[in-house]
Amino acid sequence: MSAMRVDAKVVMLGKESVGKTSLVERYVHHRFLVGPYQNTIGAAFVAKPIQVADRVITLGIWDTAGSERYEAMSRIYYRGARAAVVCYDLTDSSSFQRARFWVKELQNCEEHCKIYVCGTKSDLIEGERALRQVDFHDAQDFAEVFLVRSEMIYKTQEMNFFFSVPEETGVDLGQKKDSYFYSCCHGN
Ligand SMILES: Nc1nc2c(ncn2[C@@H]2O[C@H](COP(=O)(O)OP(=O)(O)OP(=O)(O)O)[C@@H](O)[C@H]2O)c(=O)[nH]1
């Protein structure tokens, strides 16, 4: 069996249970798995071919475990990543602190990695605004101060917006900047 060629490495980071696996599931398999939550152990890998202009490139997505006990392992998975999707749960302020931690770390250690900040579970706050624990402006200010690339997408089913036309040989992941990205894996 020949080894799979990965054109661009993408890493998912964020506190446990924020919804990283769900986001990847939605992107790769177009589904949202209901049922008991199963935490990721270590990390999971999935390859996703995408059409970019006239060619197909393969993204290698590393979905890391959010539990702090796997923190050292997560560092291994972000090495050499072209993009990182740093997730936090809009209903959990501690997950936003954790996202800040990862963004700072990536900026210190992986200067070529494009960073996206992704607020998840927007369906929950839509149903009950009092559940919201991370203020829109706090996240927006953070994105601006740290110059992370971000996008506001409401209830997306896909993560295609992260990936755009490659420049020559490289793969440019995400050209949209200066806005703020929300994602919801749940429902439509
Ligand atoms: N309501 C709602 N629930 C979500 C959403 N995304 C994930 N969940 C739920 O949140 C729980 C955790 O989701 P996961 O995708 O496993 O979270 P994770 O970040 O991969 O967790 P770890 O593997 O522990 O790092 C599951 O019960 C999901 O069904 C969302 O957008 N809305």
Going by alpha carbons, the residue nearest to atom 5 of ligand 1 is 121
Assigned domain for 53 exists = yes
Residue with tokens 């990536």: 106
User: CATH number of the domain that 99 lies in?
Assistant: 3.40.50.300
Give pLDDT tens digits along the chain (188 positions): 556 788 889 999 999 999 899 888 878 887 777 778 889 999 999 998 877 667 788 889 999 999 999 899 889 999 999 888 888 888 999 999 999 999 889 988 988 887 878 888 877 887 788 999 988 888 877 777 765 544 433 333 344 444 433 333 333 333 333 223 333 333 32
Please name which of 151, 150, 154, 162 lies closest in space to residue 188, comparing C-alpha atoms: 154
Structural contact between residues 19 and 124, judged by C-beta atoms closer than 8 angstroms: no
Specify if 172 maps to a domain.
no
Of 16, 29, 37, 131, the one to substitute when testing ligand 1's pocket (max ligand atoms within 8 A of C-beta) is: 37
In a domain, 175, yes or no: no
Domain membership of residue 44 (yes or no) is: yes
Residue 38 lies in a domain: yes
Q: Is 161 domain-assigned?
A: yes
Nearest to 61 by CA among 188, 163, 151, 150: 163
> Considering its fold, how many domains does the chain have in total?
1
| Residue 176 included in any domain | no
Global pTM value: 0.84
Kindly give the distance from the C-alpha atom of residue 9 to the centroid of ligand 1, in angstroms, as a whole number. Answer: 22
Calculate how far, in angstroms, residue 111's C-alpha sits from the geometric centre of ligand 1.
28
The residue segments making up the domain with residue 108 are 8-165
**ipTM for the complex?**
0.99
28 inside domain: yes
